[in-house]
Amino acid sequence: MFSKRFKQLTPYTPGEQPQNRKYIKLNTNENPFPPSPLIEEYLKTADTDLLKLYPDPGSDKLRKTIGKYYNLPASMVFTGNGSDEVLSFCFYAFFDSNNGPLLFPEHSYSFYPVYCGFYDIPFKRIPLKPDFSISVDSYIKEKNYSGIIFPNPNAPTGTYLQPSEIERLMRNTRKDRVVIIDEAYIDFGGESAVELVNQFDNLLIVQTFSKSRSLAGLRVGFAIGNDKLISALVTVKDSFNSYPLDTLAQNAARIAMEDIDHFEHNKARVIETREFTINELESLNWVILPSLANFIFIKKDNIRGKDIYEKLKEKGLLVRYFGHTGIEDFIRITIGKKEDMIVLINLLKTIGSN
């Protein structure tokens, strides 16, 4: 009854979205602040008659708006139903079992191995440095691979590479392989490597509206790169679903991209709350990896990560626990509103002193 392909699937396990109890949710890196108020206005007055028609398959206006923000033509922008879909199309278009493994960090976004399973792409996990940062030199040393992908800042660690390091990676790796920098969290203090797409034809930057623009529920992501890479993504899209972005999502995302004041304000609030949380936890002797994301990755000596996760959950606060070897004592905490972080800090104070 089921295909061989289907039987081999290992799906991604997303962070819990519990419906039965009210938790303080610091587990899926959502933004605690609302999206641009202009979106509410738009949705309240949107012309529902438009929904009779199929949406613009090319999301042309949205791509133009994103291009304008980055000073690039729309032909260098691809949009999809969340960056997860964009990434999935990238894996299909650029990585292959004929060219060696896809390289990504040993601790990274757990959807990457899932897509590899889905598309039958071999992969190799590249160790992080002892301080958990990404080692560009380790990628440069590799000679046989079908591509490279990593988030910057990395997830779940939060560590960040400067664009100069991305440039060094691009200069010293194969020109016939695509390198994807997944910048889901770049807006929380990092500098995007997007300008490098003008220099390197094989570089693709992927971003999302889910985090810094508070639109995880809208499902909009995008990729920026050379026209040839973008056309390849369009070919994959049109072989799968020509209309991945609905009309409301295209329009609302455009509004979010244009409301720069709200975007800047939201970002600043998250960054400020992150720094507040880090200071408080450092004074309680927690180990916190340096983060330029909207989450922190923390641990404390002599307490198991799983125990921290479970104790917090018992008290009504959800964080993310991975349990993978090497990071089994860490938990990942999304930066929420300050009042939620104060609840967290107080709970960690008691957990940490037991």
Q: Which residues bind ligand PLP (CB under 6 A)?
A: 29, 82-84, 109, 151, 155, 182, 184, 208, 210, 216, 221
Minimum distance between the CB of residue 219 and ligand PLP, rounded to whole angstroms? 7
Q: How far is the CB of 235 from ligand PLP (least distance, A)?
A: 21
CB of 301 to ligand PLP, least distance (A): 27
Taking a C-beta distance cutoff of 8 angstroms, is the pair 318, 344 a contact? no
Enumerate the β-bridge partners of residue 103: 124, 148
* Residue 132 host element (H or E): none
Number of H helices, E strands in the chain: 12, 12
Looking at the Cβ atoms of 82 and 244, the one nearer to ligand PLP is 82
3-state secondary structure of 200: coil
Residue number, 70 or 150, with CB nearest to ligand PLP: 150
Min separation Cβ 151 and ligand PLP, Å = 4
Nearer to ligand PLP, 244 or 305 (CB): 244
Amino acid at 307: D
CA–CA dist 23, 89 (Å, integer): 34
Of 70 and 109, nearer to ligand PLP (C-beta) is: 109
Give whichever of 39 and 347 is closer to ligand PLP, judged by the CB atom. Answer: 39
CA atoms within 13 A of residue 149's CA, in its CB half-sphere: 28
Strand ranges across the sheet with 331-334: 287-288, 295-299, 331-334
Q: Please, what is the minimum distance in Å from the beta carbon of residue 280 to ligand PLP?
A: 24
Measuring CA to CA, which residue among 301, 302, 276 is closest to residue 291? 276
Residue type, 97: S
Nearest CB to ligand PLP, comparing residues 89 and 109: 109
Q: Please choose, from the candidates 168, 112, 108, the residue with its C-alpha nearest in 3D space to the C-alpha of residue 138.
A: 168
Nearest to 336 by CA among 23, 31, 21, 36: 31
Q: What minimum distance in Å lies between the beta carbon of 11 and ligand PLP?
A: 15
C-alpha distances in Å from residue 153, one per residue of 109, 150, 156: 11, 9, 9
In the bound complex, what is the minimum distance in angstroms from residue 56's beta carbon to ligand PLP? 20
Choice between 182 and 329, CB closer to ligand PLP: 182
Integer angstrom CA distances of residue 197 from 34, 167, 269: 31, 10, 30
